[in-house]
């Protein structure tokens, strides 16, 4: 991200300078991580509903683990997840399917029964590589309409998530966004 921003301005930096800028960015981001962050509408109610229905929930993200835990903690979402894993948790990151599988296992789930919920091409590639269904939200981070990326199901609100998950049957119910992963136990 830093290198792309510098390139857009026609500037370049040495790798050491990029590392320094990255360290400063992470420190500033950590300080202000939840200043303007809020859960998407209905996410809390939907996660609570899924938990009551027996879903096991986890987070699989390419953010650093400690930053993800900090953000979700400040938003009072962290207790809803059996695992919160980031790009540094296992030494691999999405779209490597091993990150998804390891996150599901850390949460106490079965990767063969998991379903991913995501918002980007990276999430769709991860789900495809892990051979699991993917429910995509149409309000996430993508340069093209998410439906063009051909997820298994597209939803426009978290209120639609329980029904979308039920389309995959009782044996395979899970989610990932921020990426939440959940699994019905």
Q: Tell me the average pLDDT across 156-166.
A: 95
Alpha-carbon Rg for the chain, nearest whole angstrom, is 17
Q: Tell me the average pLDDT across 155-178.
A: 74
So where are the chain's domains?
A: 2-31, 43-184
Report residue 152's pLDDT band, with 50, 70 and 90 as the boundaries. very high
Pair 113, 183: CB distance under 8 Å: yes
Q: Tell me the average pLDDT across 114-139.
A: 96
pLDDT of 42 higher than 60: yes
Rounding to the nearest 10 degrees, give the CA dihedral for residues 32, 34, 35, 38. Answer: 160
CATH code that applies to domain 43-184: 3.40.50.1000
Number of other CB atoms surrounding residue 138 within 10 Å: 14
pLDDT of 76 higher than 80: yes
Which whole-number Å values give the CA distances from 56 to 32, 38, 111, 139, 174, in the listed order? 30, 22, 12, 23, 7
More confident residue, 12 or 77: 77
pLDDT of 184 higher than 70: no
More confident residue, 64 or 140: 64
Which whole-number Å values give the CA distances from 13 to 1, 2, 8, in the listed order? 13, 10, 13
Phi and psi torsions of 173, nearest 5°: -135, 115
pLDDT tens column, 83-93: 999 999 999 99
pLDDT of 169 higher than 80: no
From the number of C-beta atoms within 10 Å of its C-beta (0-12, 13-18, 19+), residue 98 rates as middle
Between CA 117 and CA 166, with CA 77 as vertex, the angle to 5 degrees is 35
Report residue 147's pLDDT band, with 50, 70 and 90 as the boundaries. very high
Predicted pLDDT at 177: 44
Report residue 182's pLDDT band, with 50, 70 and 90 as the boundaries. very low
Predicted pLDDT at 1: 84
Greatest alpha-carbon pair distance for the chain in Å reads 53
Alpha carbon distance 133, 151 (integer Å): 8
Alpha carbon distance 155, 16 (integer Å): 42
Rounding to the nearest 10 degrees, give the CA dihedral for residues 133, 102, 176, 134. Answer: -10
């Amino acid at each position: 991200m830093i290198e792309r921003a510098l390139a857009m301005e026609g500037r370049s930096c040495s790798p050491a300078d990029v590392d320094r800028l990255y360290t400063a960015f992470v420190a500033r981001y950590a300080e202000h991580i939840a200043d303007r962050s809020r859960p998407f509408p209905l996410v809390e109610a939907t996660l609570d509903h899924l938990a009551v229905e027996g879903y096991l929930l986890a987070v699989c993200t390419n953010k650093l683990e400690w930053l993800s835990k900090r953000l979700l903690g400040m938003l009072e979402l962290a207790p809803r997840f059996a695992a919160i894993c980031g790009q540094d948790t296992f030494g691999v990151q999405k779209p490597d399917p091993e990150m998804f599988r390891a996150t599901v296992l850390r949460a106490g789930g079965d990767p063969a029964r998991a379903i991913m919920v995501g918002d980007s091409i990276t999430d769709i590639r991860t789900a495809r590589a892990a051979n699991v269904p993917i429910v995509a939200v149409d309000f996430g981070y993508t340069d093209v309409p998410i439906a063009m990326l051909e997820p298994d199901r597209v939803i426009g609100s978290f209120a639609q998530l329980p029904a979308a998950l039920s389309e995959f049957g009782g044996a395979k119910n899970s989610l990932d966004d921020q990426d939440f992963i959940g699994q019905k136990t």
